[in-house]
Chains A and B, each alone.
Chain A
Amino acid sequence: MIKKKPKYGLLIDYEYCTGCHTCELACAQEYKHQPGVRGIKVFEVEQKLPNGSAYLTYFPFPTEVCILCPHLTKKGLEPACVKHCMAACMKYGRIEDLAVEIKKPRMVLWSGKQ
């Protein structure tokens, strides 16, 4: 099934995501979500590196529920999660524009449903 090509998305520089869960709460507040429902969910990944040392990564994962905050972006404001992100590691925009901003390792470009 062919779906409409998405125009907007989030560019996530997950190297800097600290796992603070602000994005989850910003979304929950914006949409008064019930506990359990989130537009974005933060995952913790721990791994052992070849040198034996332990390494921690967090990744904010936009879920099925994310609609990219059109009521805010239409007014020129940032999505609630992006605005509050404590590490300022997410950016909202047109996918083409965001793609050119991938200039460092450990970034993910996520396409939304808009």
Chain B
Amino acid sequence: MAGSKAKPRSSDTEIIQTTSWSAGPGCHGTCGVLAHVKNGKLTKIEGDPDHPFNQGRLCARCLAMTQYVYHPDRLTRPLKRIGERGEGKWQEISWEEAFDWIEKRMDRIRKDYGPESVIFSMGTGRDISPWLCMLAYAYGSPNVVFALSGNACYSPRIAAVETVLGDYCVPDAAQWLEKRYDDPKYRLPKCIIIWGYNIPNTCPDNIFGHWFIDLMKRGTEIVCIDPRMTWFSSRAKHWLRLRPGTDGALAMGFLNAIINESVFDREFVEKWTNAPFLIRTDSGKLLRESDIRTDGKPENFIVWDSSKKEPVVWESNRAAYRPGTCKPALHGNHTIVLKDGEKVVCKTVWDGFCEEVNKYPLDRVSEITGIPKKKIHAAAHFFAECKPSSIHWGLPIDSTPGITPTAQAITALWCLTGNLEVPGGNIIARNAFECVSYALPGAEGVIKLASKEADQKRISTDKYGPFRKFIWRAQTDTVLDQIFTEKPYPIKAIWMQTGNLIAGIGFEPKKWVEALKKLDFIAAVDLFMTPTTQLADIVLPAASFLEKDGVRSWWVPLQTINKAISVEGCKPDVEINFELARRFDPNLRWKSVEELFDNILQKSGMSFKELQKKKWALPPEGNPSAPYRRHEKGLLRKDGRPGFETPSGKVELYSSLREEWGLEPLPHYEEPPFTPVSRPDLAKEYPLILSTGRRSFAYFNAEHRMIPWLRELDPNPIVEIHPDTAKSLNVGDGEWVWVENWLGRQRFKAKLTLAVLPQMVMAAHGWWFPEEEGAEPSLFGAWKSNINQLIPMGSQGKDGLGAPIKNLLCKVYKV
């Protein structure tokens, strides 16, 4: 049990300090909590006032934990299917029998079809993902899947920012500093752009939503970019109410206003970005040293020295010019002699970037987004002129196949305004102390496949650059296709761990049901029976965060999850997976779970037990995982030189990786595939914009519908409709309506609200009804109000990322 026990408040109650990450609240956050335990039972849970992340606060989901852990529907025994799949007939078996049976079945499949024929699938990222990877890799399969179309949650944004600057960024809310906002090193952001994020609901992406409220109380002003009215939009200095899916155009418009009116940081652009690099006007590609010299290296780039009037080489691996000094030109056409004596006219990246940006004058941006030009101009200037400023963005950025060019534009915004790595700006976020348990895009941890060769069969790495370079998952839409086509190899089994494919994460869920039924073997791990586990051959009962030990290193702080209670029969994900990993790989690197934790924590210099005693730790200044201005200090690159971890060592406004992948290297706007603009034909029949995915304060995605205290707060699947629109549809508040498009129709309860634009509706996601019949065809009512039935699979972007989740089309009418 935990080493970190607080003083008991009454003699028979023990108070155990732990971390909230994982099943329970379900979020991505890392609140410190105090579990009150009496006779081995949880009696109460509170926020830990001494914890720097939440400072004593806690959300509704976490405060409902007593109803969660002792819920009568909790799975507490391994269940083996005895009827047909989906029939709901189960037999309780022991853990030993369960492990033996799974081992036997999966060993057979591995022998007959190879380890890659088994998919390991998860839901949202938390203290399950690393253990899922451990199991997959021990088995030998590279095919770990986050089952959302276009992997469209967070990973695309991380990969996109890494494409530009080699690392990921988050806004600075002083989370690296123990004294937080009061630390003298910190500066209050004067402006924060909250871009498509109602973050007080559920703290996604490891940011405590209410930090922004703390900052606002201290004087931070908000620019809110959101089609929906939110708490932020109402209190924002500027609210830009854009048409869903047009974020990319707005970002280009911001760049336009900022660059053309010179309110950007020219010194940063010259010194730290690849703006001076030359682009050949004949091929449109970057000029490389290998173009001009026979012994030149292709990874080196060329700039024009404006004082010496000659080309100079930028050596990427040293992140320096050869020779040392150079005054690179930002503008102009320059004629360069190639190695074969031919001459080619080159322009600078900066000129190319500005040309692209100039395709988005504010009139055009206003027309695309629906926001008055004046408002865009005022907000862009406010953001650029406030120092420091930062940007915090949400899922809508991932919710379009044009995610990467959109995210490139937004990343350029915080870089060009001089807000990168400055106190109160956008800060490079790395795992605390560079200890990695859950390898988000770009990160490398101790949990790895045995060899690089084993990774070559990972589905879609042949098709999509970001999946080769940053993202260690299989591309979801390609996986679903491959289950049906069996090409290039058949998929035979799936291991699904705490992710609700049918009611939560899978689009066109009936296709997923069909896909699942095609497989030879399905194992599921969860805390409750769901529409998804209902289709499995075996279901294993997992533990909530209160019932397990774990480690957490996602940004900061580094901390442990400490077991406070046990629920008889349930096992922590890490223990389930460790037992099977040990069986599948007799040479598994770790002898025990604790040894695994110690290994993950190695770079911190602490063992699991030591960190547990300390409760949490923040990386000290000088550590590569602690801000500020690391690019200047040589803390980002492995070779210790100033610069960034990109191919060129510069912030790549023009992405050399995208060029290599055959994709547009510059940021731009792509109209999503199913909007009134891109599909006026469909819009005739389906005139309303369909958005989904907005967060509920009561639930995390598809979870929590069975918790009475929470269900009471948000009892029905809601579709938000503007009162004027509702009037024209003859729909009253609280009436049930069909939301329909070419993929199907589902029932929602109308909420008439000014929250949405008149031309859109917002439907709640993740709905199923634990109180209804579990067996097929009902599957706990999964086919009644499941908005995913109206979202297509297979609309990912050219790089495999993004999906049209908030910018589809539908019609609405009374039931």
A contact set with B: CB distance below 8 Å: 15-16, 18-22, 24-26, 28-30, 35-36, 46-48, 53-58, 83-88
Contact = CB atoms under 8 A, between A and B. Distances in A.
Contact of B63 (A15, A19, A22, A87): A22
Given A18-B213, A86-B200, A86-B210, A28 B56 contact: no
Interface stretch (B73-81, B390-398, B611-619, B708-716): B708-716
Given A19-B697, A48-B754, A83-B56, A25 B229 contact: no
A46 to B, nearest CB: 5
Interface stretch (B41-49, B90-98, B551-559): B41-49
Contact of B59 (A15, A16, A20, A30): A20
A58 B229 contact: no
Q: 6 tightest A-B contacts by CB?
A: A54-B754, A25-B63, A25-B60, A18-B200, A54-B229, A35-B712
A35 B712 CA distance: 7
B230 interface: yes
Contacts of B231: 18-19, 56, 58
B233 interface: yes
Contacts of B46: 83-84
Interface of B: 44-47, 49, 56-60, 63-64, 66, 200-201, 209-210, 213-214, 216-217, 229-231, 233-235, 239, 697-698, 708-713, 753-755
B697 A21 contact: yes
A84 B58 contact: yes
Given A20-B201, A56-B229, A56-B230, A88 B63 contact: no
9 contacts: A21-B713, A35-B709, A46-B754, A54-B229, A55-B234, A83-B49, A86-B213, A88-B210, A88-B214
Given A25-B63, A25-B64, A29-B64, 14 more contacts: A20-B59, A20-B60, A20-B697, A26-B63, A28-B64, A29-B66, A46-B755, A54-B233, A54-B754, A55-B234, A83-B49, A84-B46, A86-B209, A88-B214
Nearest to A83: B56
A19 B45 CA distance: 21
B200 A20 contact: yes
Contacts of A20: 59-60, 200-201, 210, 697
B233 A84 contact: no
A55 B59 contact: no
Nearest to B58: A84
A113 B355 CA distance: 68
A21 B213 contact: no
Contacts of B230: 56
Nearest to B235: A15
A84 B229 contact: no
B753 A84 contact: no
A88 B215 CA distance: 12
Contact of A29 (B44, B200, B711, B713): B44
A86 B209 CA distance: 9
Question: In the complex, which of the residues A26, A36, A55, A86 has the most CB atoms of chain B within 10 Å of its own CB atom?
Answer: A86
Contact of A83 (B47, B200, B697, B708): B47
Contacts of B217: 16
A87 B210 contact: yes
A86 B64 CA distance: 15
A57 B57 contact: no
A48 B724 CA distance: 13
B67 to A, nearest CB: 9
B63 to A, nearest CB: 4
A18 B222 CA distance: 15
B63 A46 contact: no
